[in-house]
Structures are given as structure tokens and as C-alpha cells.
Amino acid sequence: MLSVILFVVVFLAVILISNKTKMNLGVLCILAAFILGGWYAKAPLNNIINYFPLSVLTTLLATTIFFAYINQTEAFKGVVDRVLYATKGKTWFYPFAIFFSVFLIACIGGNSSAPIIVSPIAFAIAASTGMHPLLAVMSGYLASAGIGMAPWTPGGVVFSGLMEPGAGDKKMTALIMAIIILFVGALLYLIATYFVLGGNKLQDKGTFVAKEPVPFTREQKTALITLLVVMLVALIPAIIKSFSTGTLNKVCTWMGNYMDIKVLCFIGALFLALMKIGDGQKVMREMVPWGIFLDIGGACVLINCAKDMGIIDLISKWASDSLPGWLMPFVCVLVAGLLSFVSNAMVILPMFSPIAATMAVAGGQSPVVLCTCLLVGCVATGLSPVSMGGSLHSLGATKEQREAIFGKQFLAAFIHLGIYLVFALVGGFGLVGKIFGV
């Protein structure tokens, strides 16, 4: 028990010091890991260093650099312009136009770019048509809730890696299950909110005009074609491998082992650089979030030290002894959802993924299902205004619009979480797990 108390105190202290001093959270986590894992738990310092998740971060670096080159061409903005122009004059469809714009950008890997591009347009539409500003936020965030973690995107790479301690080699299955559950839940939630907030009764005041999109430039076409090729080469071998045998299967296996997403993204970035598309120095200096990489790595190092302190085993034993198996999916969604109000999935998943594996064995549940529950819970409350997702998708709001929706975003996040809590109570996660054979 002393270890648990000490770990919680140090973990909270790290967050408070980071917020107060603006020092990188990852650096403080690594320092805390040396103190807790080395000084207190007597683990060799080299073991602690080896906890740094190089594999996940290398893949994240590759995908980030590749998409940074694409972002410089403003190709994603061209996609949005075409969606909005296609719905010109159809005021009732504008919330869904926002939804599909973000969905398309997120689907092709631009999840982090989507709110920056779409949010100002969404709030301009709200001002022009009388659309409730909360609907502008929800249309964007709910669109990215699932597809923003697609396996070929930077988000999918990170989350699948963070779930590996619990889901093992089925981590991709857990990710796909979470994407499907989140997409269906988010779409149904948006449709219900659309009618509650009067999205079907919008009146165009003419202050927002969807302009005819300009043709794609050579650079934008090249960037989008390169992105399409990378996605196809990453996905097709996995699809073929699932139903083929013989030589073709061996080729696909080799491609899966040696031409995975990080290799393809590095190749794609090199190709764009050789085609003189994008500024390589700007990419490395301004567009690669080194601080976030260090946050993720440091958090993983600190969380892994909890194993050396015996905390993971202690919490797992308590959960296994105290919780009936049928309640475990509900608890995983609830805990992850509540924590994501003040934290994010990058911290929550590495902490609870190993625990989920032990809980699953004791409770007769699938660890893949419980990892799916954790990820769904983390994303569900990302709509809150103090979370990264909720704040990014309200970037384009005026002061008045932001004040009008601040409290309502909390309520919207709780309702979104409630959808998946009910789904867990009725056994929905387990049913999806059976469909996927896990």
C-alpha cells in the first residue's frame, strides 16, 4: 500500500510541477522513474532506460514527418473546400458537411490538422445560419472520434502500441473494434443532437459563402497520390494475407515485416522531399512535436516503473478479487472516461493496459475487449473543453460562442461517455469481441 501511495503522490507532483514551471512532462516523468524505480524499487537504471518506447516513437516520428510534408501543401484544405461547396445552399446539411469534412481528413491521416482547418469554418457557418455553436464542436469532434485512430494514421500507430501490454498481438483487433464502436456511437449521438439543437431548421443569413474550390496544384496532387499509395501498400498485403496461401502469402508476409507503416512513411517523406514538396527544415524545426514525443516516452517509462514497485500486481489482484467479470468492461470505460477529463489516453493506456490483461484472466473476460473499453472511455470524454480534442475543435469560436458552449461541452462529454457505459452494461463490448473472435 505504501508503494501505491508513494507512486500516486509522485505522479500528481510531476503533473503539478509541469503545469507550474512549464517544464516538459516527459522529462519530469523520467526523473521520477529513476527515483521510484531505481532508488526505491532498486531496479537497475539500464532497465528503466529500456522502458523508453522507441518502437512506438519511431513509428510516430515517421508518420508525423510524412504528414507534415503533406500539410504544407494545404491539400487537406482543398478536400474541405470541395465538401462545403458541394453542400452550398443546403443549410440543413451543414452540420453533416462539417462532420464529413473532418472524417475525410482524419481518414487520410490528418486528424491533428482537421480542427485547425475546419473549426473556423464551422463557427462561421454557425454565425451565418443560427446553428448552435455546440453543434459546430460536436460535428467536428465526433467525426474524428473513431476514424482518427485508423491503423495507417499517426493516432492509430500510437494507440495500438500503447495497448500492446494488454492486448498483445491482438492489439490491432482491439483498435479496430474501438474504431467501429466509437464511429457508430458518435454518429448516432450526432444525429440525436442534430434534432435536439435544431440543426434541421437552420436559416442562411448570407454571411458565410462557400466559394468554388480552386483546382488542386501539382504539389497537392502529388502529395495526395503519394498518401494514397502509402495507404494502399500498407493495407493491401494485410488484406490479401488474410485469405491467401503459398507464394503470394509469403510476399505479403515479407511486406508486412519489412514494409510496415513507418518504413513506408519515411519513403513517402523522402519522395516528397525529392519532388521539392515542402520545406524539410521547417518540418523538423516547427512541425514535429518533439515535446509530445518526450511526454509519451516519459509517461511510459514512469508507468513501467509501477511494475517494479509491485503496484500493477497489487491493483490487478484487488480488481480481480473485488469485481465480478460482467462488470469489468463497465469499470474500464468509466475509469478511463473520468481520467481523460484531466489527462489523456497517452497516459491512461500505458497505466491500465497491463492491468486489463490480469483482470481479464481473473474475471473470465477477454483482455482485448477490456483494452477496447479503455480506449473507448478515453476518447468518449475528449469532447470536454479542458481536453485536447474539445479545445482544438473550438479553436474557431468567438469569445461569445466559447462562453456559450463551455459548460455545455462538459455535459455533452458526460452524455457521450454514458452511451458507452450503457453499451458495456448490456454486454455490447463482449458481443463485438465474439464477432471478432476474441
pLDDT band per the 50, 70, 90 thresholds, residue 259:
confident
**Cell numbers standing for residue 222:** 502529388
Average pLDDT, integer, range 61-68: 82
Average pLDDT, integer, range 313-325: 72
* Most confident of the ranges 117-121, 217-221, 228-232: 217-221
Query: For 216, what's the count of Cα atoms within 13 Å in the CB-facing half-sphere?
Result: 17
Average pLDDT, integer, range 412-432: 92
- Residue 431, in any domain of the structure: no
pLDDT score at 416: 92
In 3D space, the residue among 278, 266, 137, 109 whose CA is nearest the CA of residue 199 turns out to be 137
Q: What whole-number distance in Å separates Cα of residue 420 and Cα of residue 184? A: 11
- Residue 8, in any domain of the structure: yes
Q: What whole-number distance in Å separates Cα of residue 340 and Cα of residue 372? A: 15
Average pLDDT, integer, range 407-425: 90
Mean pLDDT of the chain: 81
Q: Is the pLDDT of residue 423 over 90?
A: yes
Q: Is the pLDDT of residue 38 over 70?
A: yes
Q: Is the pLDDT of residue 418 over 90?
A: yes
Q: What whole-number distance in Å separates Cα of residue 426 and Cα of residue 438? A: 18
Q: Which helix (H) or strand (E) holds 55?
A: helix 54-72
pLDDT greater at residue 243 or residue 215: 215
Cβ partners under 8 Å of residue 75, min gap 6: 216, 219, 220, 223, 224
**Cell numbers standing for residue 282:** 521547417
pLDDT score at 1: 67
Give residue 297's domain range: 1-50+290-309
pLDDT score at 344: 64
pLDDT digits 0-9 by tens, 79-132: 777 877 777 767 788 888 888 888 888 887 767 667 777 777 888 778 777 888
In 3D space, the residue among 116, 110, 111 whose CA is nearest the CA of residue 220 turns out to be 110
pLDDT digits 0-9 by tens, 381-403: 888 776 767 777 776 777 777 77
Q: What whole-number distance in Å separates Cα of residue 107 and Cα of residue 130? A: 29
Q: Is the pLDDT of residue 239 over 70?
A: no
Cβ partners under 8 Å of residue 373, min gap 6: 328, 329, 332, 333, 336, 356, 424, 429
Instruction: Classify residue 37 by its DSSP letter.
Output: I
pLDDT score at 316: 67
- Looking at the chain, the whole-number percentage of residues with pLDDT higher than 90 is 12
pLDDT digits 0-9 by tens, 48-60: 888 887 877 787 7
pLDDT score at 208: 57
- Residue 436, in any domain of the structure: no
Average pLDDT, integer, range 179-205: 86
In 3D space, the residue among 157, 172, 153 whose CA is nearest the CA of residue 114 turns out to be 153
- Determine contact, residues 335/135, Cβ cutoff 8 Å: no
- Residue 160, in any domain of the structure: no
- Looking at the chain, the whole-number percentage of residues with pLDDT higher than 70 is 88
Residue spans of beta strands (DSSP E) within 201-248 = none
pLDDT digits 0-9 by tens, 342-371: 556 666 777 777 777 777 776 677 888 988
pLDDT greater at residue 147 or residue 79: 147
pLDDT band per the 50, 70, 90 thresholds, residue 273:
very high
Cα of 368 vs its chain's centroid, Å: 17
Q: What are the Cα distances from residue 53, in Å, to 57, 90, 231, 297, 422?
A: 6, 48, 24, 6, 34
Q: What are the Cα distances from residue 236, in Å, to 156, 180, 319?
A: 17, 20, 41
**Cell numbers standing for residue 38:** 531505481
pLDDT greater at residue 109 or residue 33: 33
Nearest-5° angle of CA 13, CA 160, CA 169?
A: 120
Q: What whole-number distance in Å separates Cα of residue 170 and Cα of residue 176? A: 10
- Residue 17, in any domain of the structure: yes
- Determine contact, residues 26/299, Cβ cutoff 8 Å: yes
Q: Is the pLDDT of residue 157 over 80?
A: no
Neighbours of 300 (CB within 10 A): 27
DSSP secondary structure, 10-23, as one string: HHHHHHHHHHHH--
Backbone angles phi, psi at 126, to 5 degrees: -60, -45
pLDDT band per the 50, 70, 90 thresholds, residue 163:
confident
**Number of structural domains, the chain?**
1
pLDDT band per the 50, 70, 90 thresholds, residue 323:
confident
Backbone angles phi, psi at 278, to 5 degrees: 95, 160
Q: Is the pLDDT of residue 421 over 90?
A: yes
- Residue 30, in any domain of the structure: yes
- Give the relative orientation of helices 367-380 and 399-425 as an angle to the nearest 10 degrees: 160
Does this model's pTM top 0.85? Answer: no
- Determine contact, residues 296/350, Cβ cutoff 8 Å: no
Using left for φ > 0, alpha for ψ between -120 and 50, and beta otherwise, residue 437 falls in: left
pLDDT score at 65: 87
Neighbours of 225 (CB within 10 A): 11
Cβ partners under 8 Å of residue 107, min gap 6: 147, 150
Question: Which of 279-288, 310-319, 417-426 is least confident?
Answer: 310-319
- Residue 37, in any domain of the structure: yes
Q: What whole-number distance in Å separates Cα of residue 169 and Cα of residue 171? A: 5
pLDDT score at 420: 94
Question: Which of 123-132, 164-173, 355-364, 409-418 is least confident?
Answer: 355-364
pLDDT score at 343: 59
- Residue 18, in any domain of the structure: yes
Backbone angles phi, psi at 277, to 5 degrees: -105, 110
